[in-house]
Structure 1
Amino acid sequence: MWWLIGAVALGIPLVLTAMPEFGMLAVGAVAAAVTAGLGGGVAMQAVVFAVVSVALIAVVRPIAARHRAQRPELISGVEALKGRSAVVLERVDSSGGRIKLAGEVWSARPLDTEQSFEAGQEVDVVEIDGATAVVM
């Protein structure tokens, strides 16, 4: 019973501080409680608590740290439009034009001011400058 009380006591700082190590120690305490329930002695309970807790910290903590360090793969907003293909609706030249990008009509200008694209041509979006797509 004391191990289960200890597990709950370790769960409280886990929730308050969001430190996963407390959760791993709580799992070790539950494992020790199971050992006690199966008739293991106090020494065996302490060994099970230590082994399970250390094993979880040694294995799970590096994996969690790796996942925490990774940036999300989801790109949204204007960044998601860069590199996409679009269809020219109205001639695009240095004075502007219109394209259909991701189902929407955008104003556009070429990356190279000497270049122009005719209606129906497919272009690639290089960047978004305000409400204007820069294409090539």
Structure 2
Amino acid sequence: MSKEDFPFTHPMFKADGYEPPKPMDIPVMPDDVRADRIKWEKQFANSFDERLKEAEARYPIQSMFTGKTLETLAYFYTNTDRSTLEDAGIIQKGPSGDTGWNRFNHNFDIFILKLDDEKQEALAGLVNKYFRAIVGAA
């Protein structure tokens, strides 16, 4: 294939007055914006480190998640039925197609994030109760 056969360099395009687009300059982030971004990234990293230290102080290493903890959480999720959540006041009683029950089954992470503080605490209580039952049975 010759250079003339390549699109937009063919004489047909030039005859119509068409000019191929010129290469654009890649926009460069202005120095002041870049400085603000670097400052924000450092602040975020520092605040994350501070929160991590606070969490480590509050929750000693023996209470950290392990593979077995994740497995037990998965069993909790799998074995929890609608009536348990209704009785704890986490979801409304009613037809099984409501958004709370559907979200629990299909988007567990979003389900937790959308709960208010009181319902999150109730769910955490159910999880802890389940964990104690499993550990006590082991």
Query: Shorter-chain TM-score category?
Result: under 0.3
Higher strand share: 1
Higher helix share: 2
TM-score of the superposed pair, with normalisation by structure 2 = 0.20
